[in-house]
Each structure stands twice: as structure tokens, then as C-alpha cells.
């Protein structure tokens, strides 16, 4: 029964979270120790990725049950994972594409947050156009020799591992010459340089320089020259589930407007529109999941990234407006507004999302002119 499972998760949260978590949420959301301990405890109890098998650290829940658990987590505003892409993107990719040895060694620490992951995708010349990446890996005596540069690599300065997308066949058509390597970021020849962000970002991001880095052949993730498939599956997984987190962030950003003692009618209209954003996001996520379980295909899920990131942005802007002059002396409000502007850039820009929606949901012809 879904209700029983959800109740059990609720009891776990009651037990784990501090008594004053709701009242002092603003403080707790920056509490690094609590966030780290939450991830480990939730994973140990099988709640973090409950759809996984019991032997992998999950609870073997079906889709609806797992989604119900994650939604309750978002409703209760569980502590944000410190290294989201580890459990959220790298771990599912290792699980789907990894060898038995890779899964045995890497899966559990990635999901539990014991070992952090970075995603080595963008390059100075390859942003939205990921398939034009130029970092090369040449196989010499069962070792890949890697040369090139990655950029905008989140938490590369703190991560142990990196899913590194490299060109392994320069002759092949561009999508078919890419492979995904599991790079140990402590390898000789790897130089990581953090990039200073415009505001105090929650997560760092970095440049990664790769100079004759040696990666053993066993660290290939997925097929040789099959890296594009790994990347697409990873990003789809992210787009499929990230909405729950975005929904939480939107609601959080709406708190000030919901609680402000003074608010103008114009701001109330914006608040209403943002409520429609949040509910529209939640309901589209649920509807498309329900459709998938019922075996009906609907491309509406393709809108979740675009809708979610724009929802967060509108909510953060409203929050700043509602603060009025207080925003002048409370930089955290501006910082959130600034941070929200990244949402429509990372994980595939809104422009790319619109291309994807137009081509895959509406059947419009390819082309970017």
C-alpha cells in the first residue's frame, strides 16, 4: 500500500529531522552537517532512491510508490543533497551502463554521498552543442590518454570522480565518436580551477584541465564510442525527476509572498500566476508519470525542465519585489534572484529545451536558423 509506505517514510523524517526544522528551515537549509547526515541516513534506510532493489540500497518500490515518497520529501522540504548530480545523475548512469565491477565499486558511495561526482560535459567550444566536444582520449595499450579542457564543471574541486565525455573516434560522425570515461579527479595531469561566481552560489563550478591524463580501459562507462547514449539517458533521467526539486524550490521562493503582511494587488496577481506555475509543474509531473505507468505516451514531460526553471525564476523575482527596501540590506534575497537566473542555463538552456519540445512534441522540422 502506497499510504503505508508514505507513512513509514514520514515517521523516518519525524525521527530524523530536528523538532524545530520547519520553523528554522532557513537556517537548516545551509547546515552542511545535517545535509550530509540526511543523505546517508535516508540511503541507509532505503528512502533515498526507493525504486532501487534492496540489494542496491533501495526498497524495491514501484513507480507510484517511489514518486509518493519523493513528493512527501519535497513537501517536508528535506535537506538538499550536497552533491545532487552524484545520486541524481552519475549513480543512475553507473547503474544503467556500468560493468558489475563498476557498480560494485562506485554505486553505493555515489548514492550515499560518500564520494562526490562531477559531470564533465561542457567545454569552452561545446556548450549547448555538446556533440562538438574536442577533448580527446586515445587508447594506447589499454589505457586512454586524455587531453583537453572541461568547463562549468559543478563541484569538480570537491568531487572524487567525474563522468568525462571525450572524443575517441575523430573520424566518426560527431555523435558517434564520443565515449564516457570514469575519471578519478586525483589522477596526475588533472588540474581543477574554481571559477568565481557572480554571487555566493550554493555549489562551486570549475574549469578542468586535462594534460596526458591516463585512464585505464576498465573505466570506460558504456560502449566505446557509445557515450552519446550515456549522456542522453543521463540528461533525460535528470529532466524526468528534477521537477520535484524545482517544485520545492519554487514553493520555497513563494514563502515570503505568502507570509508578507503587506502586499500589493499587482504582487498578488504575480503570486497567483506563480501558484499556477507550481501546481502546473507538480500536476504535469504527476500526470506524465501516471501516463507512462498506464502505457500511454505523451510528450508533455518534455516541458518539465523549461516550466520548472522559469517557475523558480518568476518566484524569486516576486520574492525580491515583495521584500521592497528590505532587499537593499538583505543580500540573500538578491543572491537567490541571481542564482535563479542560472536555472534556465544549466542542464540544457531554455533555448535548447524549446528546440526539443518543438521537434519532438510538435513534430516541427529540425533547424536552428
Partner 1 sequence: MMLDWTLLAPDEDSRDLARTARALFRTLPGAGAARAALDDGVARAALDKDAPAGDGTPVAPPAWFALVDAGYLDIAVPEDLGGLGRMIDLVVVLEEAGRSLLTAPLLPAVLAVQTQVAAGIHRPEARSAPAGFAVASGTVADGRCFADRVPVLGGVGAATLTAILRAPDRAWVVTLDAAADGVEVRQTEALIDPSRPVAVVRLAGAPSQDSQALTPADVEPVLARARVCAAADLVGIAAGALEAAVAHAVQRQQFGALIGSFQAVKHQLADAYLGVERARSLTYGAAVAVDHTGRAGGATTDGAPQLSTRDSLLAYAAAAEVAVQVAGRFIQVLGAMGVTFEADGHLYLRRAHQMTSLFGAPDDHFLAAARLERATARMKKEARTVREATR
Task: Summarize as ranges the residues that interact with partner 1 (CB under 8 A).
Answer: 3, 6, 22, 64, 68, 257-259, 263, 265, 268-273, 275-277, 279-281, 283-284, 286-287, 289-291, 293-294, 296, 300, 303, 306-307, 351, 353-355, 357-359, 361-369
Nearer to partner 1, 100 or 367 (CB): 367
Distance CA 356, CA 363 (A): 10
Closest approach of partner 1 to the CB of residue 258, in Å: 5
Nearer to partner 1, 22 or 218 (CB): 22
Q: Are 204 and 270 in contact (CB under 8 A)?
A: no
Q: Which residues contact 309 (CB under 8 A, 6 or more apart)?
A: 246, 343, 344, 350
DSSP 8-state symbol, 135: -
SS3 assignment, position 278: helix
Annotated catalytic sites, by residue?
238
Nearer to partner 1, 294 or 329 (CB): 294
Nearer to partner 1, 62 or 330 (CB): 62
Nearer to partner 1, 160 or 239 (CB): 239
Strands 117-120 and 161-167: parallel
Closest approach of partner 1 to the CB of residue 65, in Å: 12
Distance CA 137, CA 211 (A): 11
Distance CA 148, CA 204 (A): 21
DSSP 8-state symbol, 223: S
Q: Are 281 and 308 in contact (CB under 8 A)?
A: yes
Closest approach of partner 1 to the CB of residue 263, in Å: 8
Nearer to partner 1, 211 or 255 (CB): 255
Distance CA 348, CA 369 (A): 19
Closest approach of partner 1 to the CB of residue 256, in Å: 11
**Backbone φ and ψ of 123, nearest 5°:** -135, 165
Closest approach of partner 1 to the CB of residue 279, in Å: 6
DSSP 37-97: HHHHHHHHTT-SSTTS-GGGTS----HHHHHHHHHHHHHTTPPPPTTHHIIIIIHHHHHHH
State the angle between helix axes of 63-75 and 265-293 in degrees (0 to 180), rounded to the nearest 10: 160
Q: Which long-range contacts (CB under 8 A, 24 or more apart) does 262-266 make?
A: 263/322
Cell numbers standing for residue 192: 581543477
Closest approach of partner 1 to the CB of residue 280, in Å: 4
Closest approach of partner 1 to the CB of residue 18, in Å: 15
Q: Are 174 and 157 in contact (CB under 8 A)?
A: no
Nearer to partner 1, 63 or 125 (CB): 63
Amino acid at each position: 500500500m502506497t499510504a503505508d509506505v508514505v507513512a513509514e517514510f514520514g515517521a523516518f523524517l519525524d525521527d530524523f529531522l530536528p523538532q524545530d526544522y520547519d520553523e528554522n528551515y532557513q537556517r537548516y537549509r545551509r547546515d552542511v552537517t545535517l545535509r550530509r547526515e540526511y543523505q546517508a541516513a535516508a540511503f541507509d534506510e532505503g528512502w533515498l532512491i526507493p525504486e532501487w532493489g534492496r540489494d542496491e540500497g533501495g526498497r524495491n518500490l514501484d513507480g507510484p510508490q517511489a514518486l509518493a515518497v519523493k513528493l512527501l520529501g519535497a513537501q517536508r522540504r528535506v535537506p538538499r543533497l550536497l552533491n545532487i548530480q552524484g545520486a541524481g545523475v552519475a549513480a543512475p548512469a553507473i547503474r544503467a551502463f556500468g560493468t558489475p565491477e563498476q557498480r560494485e565499486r562506485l554505486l553505493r558511495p555515489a548514492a550515499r554521498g560518500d564520494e562526490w561526482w562531477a559531470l564533465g560535459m561542457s567545454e569552452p567550444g561545446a556548450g549547448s552543442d555538446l556533440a562538438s566536444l574536442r577533448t580527446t582520449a586515445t587508447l594506447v595499450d589499454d589505457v586512454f590518454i586524455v587531453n583537453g579542457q572541461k568547463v562549468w564543471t559543478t563541484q569538480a574541486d570537491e568531487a572524487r570522480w567525474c563522468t568525462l565525455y571525450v572524443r575517441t573516434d575523430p573520424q566518426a560522425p560527431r555523435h558517434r565518436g564520443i565515449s564516457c570515461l570514469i575519471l578519478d579527479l586525483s589522477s596526475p595531469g588533472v588540474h581543477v580551477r574554481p571559477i568565481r561566481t557572480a554571487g555566493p552560489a550554493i555549489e562551486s563550478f570549475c574549469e578542468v584541465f586535462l594534460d596526458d591524463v591516463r585512464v585505464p580501459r576498465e573505466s570506460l562507462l558504456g560502449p566505446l564510442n557509445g557515450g552519446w547514449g550515456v549522456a542522453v539517458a543521463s540528461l533525460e533521467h535528470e529532466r524526468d525527476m528534477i521537477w520535484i526539486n524545482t517544485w520545492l524550490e519554487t514553493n520555497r521562493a513563494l514563502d515570503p509572498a505568502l507570509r508578507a503582511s503587506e502586499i500589493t494587488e499587482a504582487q498578488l496577481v504575480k503570486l497567483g500566476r506563480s501558484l499556477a506555475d507550481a501546481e502546473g509543474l507538480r500536476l504535469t509531473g504527476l500526470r506524465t508519470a501516471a501516463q507512462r505507468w498506464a502505457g500511454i505516451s505523451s510528450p508533455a514531460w518534455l516541458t518539465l525542465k523549461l516550466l520548472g526553471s522559469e517557475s523558480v525564476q518568476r518566484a524569486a523575482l516576486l520574492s525580491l519585489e515583495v521584500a521592497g527596501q528590505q532587499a537593499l540590506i538583505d543580500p540573500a534575497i538578491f543572491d537567490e534572484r541571481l542564482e535563479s537566473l542560472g536555472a534556465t542555463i544549466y542542464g540544457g538552456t531554455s533555448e535548447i529545451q524549446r528546440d526539443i519540445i518543438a521537434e519532438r512534441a510538435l513534430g516541427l522540422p529540425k533547424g536552428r536558423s
